[in-house]
Every structure is written in C-alpha cells, then in structure tokens.
C-alpha cells in the first residue's frame, strides 16, 4: 500500500487533519492477507515539515495542543505495532515531526538530495517528541547535536549514522523502494508479523531477558504452519507455498 503525504503547498505539515488521515490509512484493512508492506512517500520538494505551527499558536487552547501531540505520538508508535513492514520513501527535506516520522519507520530509503533536521530549538519549541524516535535511531551525540543546533544532516550523513537504510540517486528511488518491497512480499506475512513484533519487544529488554523471550518465540515460530512449510520446502529443495 502506498500512503502519499499530499499537501505540498503546506510542506506536507502534520496538521491534526493530516495526522488523522495518516492514522486511518495505516490502520485501513491492516489484517488483509493482501497487505504485505506499506510505503510512505510525499508530493513536492519537502517530505514533511513537521507540525503545522499555526495550530500551535496561543490562539488555540491547551486542549487542542495536547490533541495534536497525542495523536502524533499514537501514529509514530502505531507504525511499529503494525503487522507489516513500513518503509519511508524520502525525496526531499524531513524536519521536526517529519524527521520523527522517518525515524519511526522500519526501513527508510532516501534520495541523495534529502535532508533531515530537528530545528525546533531555533523557534523556541524544542523537538522533545521527535527526540524519542531520533534518540532510538541515532547515536546519542549525533541526535543531540541535531536537537541542540537544528542543523540538518545530509542524506549521506543520515545513512552513516543509521537514520536511513539506503541512499540512492533521485531517479532510482522508486526502483530501490520497490525492490525492497518485492523482496518482503516473497516472505510469509505471519512470520514477518511475528518477527517485527518480537524485534521491537526485545529492543527494550536487557540481554538475558531478550534471549529468554526470543528463544521462546523461535520455539513458537516452529509451531506455525508457515514455519513448518518453510523448513520442509528448504529440505525438499522447492519454493515454499505460504498460507500467510
């Protein structure tokens, strides 16, 4: 499924309406066997500029401000709870909550012209919520330099520090993203769902707890129909037929 942020005139800002649409699109028919991967991309030169600052002015009340930040946090955490991989396809600038969106996706493919920044500090609104995703994707000192200075990372710097998975020329962005998507689609949906959920669970645990939990998951994985099918197909030197 392709989800396209499509308000280039507003630099694809994560307004309350945009966040509500994004949440609805991410959740739409999520249990369908046919849904195997979600790609988030954007129209225009800016992938996403973060929150719509007009919604955060003092004209709106605290209740509205809370609503904006709460749904944003919900969308960012939802991405990691979905049973399918989510890929950010970035072609342009991703700032503040837009950078948070990239950091929250499972995989991110960026064009060479893309840039990533958390410039909230420069306008007196520190990027505290983007920092949650950033601090879990980047080395601490890189994340803090971005947060303290607001200076952008180039696509190559973002790759070097682990914010994105791949950087390609702009004209190869679609091809590379589809290549990864097609590879994902060759696997069993149920096995990938188990693996994704387990990955994020073990990342919050200490080493012993992580191994204890994942050891049990491996045992459980073998009881799944597709777990058995994959091993049998390998032994019989044939392609597996997944039930998903």
Domain boundaries, the chain: 2-185, 188-236
Top CATH class of 2-185 equals alpha beta
pLDDT, mean of residues 121-140: 97
Sheet with strand 93-95: strands edge to edge: 46-48, 93-95, 115-117, 153-154
One fold for 2-185 and 188-236 = no
Q: Mean pLDDT of all residues in the chain?
A: 96
**pLDDT level of residue 7 (50, 70, 90 thresholds):** very high
pTM of the entire structure? Answer: 0.96
Question: Which homologous superfamily does the CATH classification assign to the domain defined by 188-236?
Answer: Lyase 2-enoyl-coa Hydratase, Chain  A, domain 2 (1.10.12.10)
Alpha-carbon distance of 210 to 130, in angstroms, equals 26
**Which pLDDT belongs to residue 112?**
98
Q: How far is CA 8 from CA 93, 104, 206, in A?
A: 12, 21, 43
Report the pLDDT value the prediction gives residue 186, as an integer from 0 to 100: 96
Confidence bin at 61 (pLDDT 50/70/90): confident
């Amino acid at each position: 499924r392709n989800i396209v942020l499509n308000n280039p005139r507003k630099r694809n800002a994560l307004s309350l309406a945009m966040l509500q649409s994004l949440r609805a699109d991410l959740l739409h028919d999520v249990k369908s066997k046919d849904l195997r991967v979600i790609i988030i991309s954007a129209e225009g030169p800016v992938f996403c500029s973060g929150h719509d600052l007009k919604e955060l002015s003092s004209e709106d009340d605290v209740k509205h401000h809370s609503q904006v930040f709460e749904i944003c946090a919900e969308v960012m955490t939802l991405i990691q709870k979905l049973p399918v991989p989510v890929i950010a396809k970035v072609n342009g600038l991703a700032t503040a909550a837009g950078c948070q969106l990239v950091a929250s996706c499972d995989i991110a493919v960026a064009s060479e012209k893309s840039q990533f920044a958390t410039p909230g500090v420069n306008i007196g609104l520190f990027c505290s919520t983007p920092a949650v995703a950033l601090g879990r994707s980047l080395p601490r000192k890189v994340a803090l330099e971005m947060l303290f200075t607001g200076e952008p990372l180039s696509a190559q710097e973002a790759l070097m520090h682990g914010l994105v998975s791949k950087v390609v020329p702009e004209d190869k962005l679609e091809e590379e993203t589809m290549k990864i998507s097609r590879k994902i689609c060759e696997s069993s949906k149920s096995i990938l769902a188990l693996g994704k959920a387990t990955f994020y669970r073990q990342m919050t645990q200490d080493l012993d707890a992580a191994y204890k939990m994942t050891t049990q998951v491996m045992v459980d994985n073998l009881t799944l129909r597709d777990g058995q099918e994959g091993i049998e197909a390998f032994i019989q030197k044939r392609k597996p037929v997944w039930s998903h």
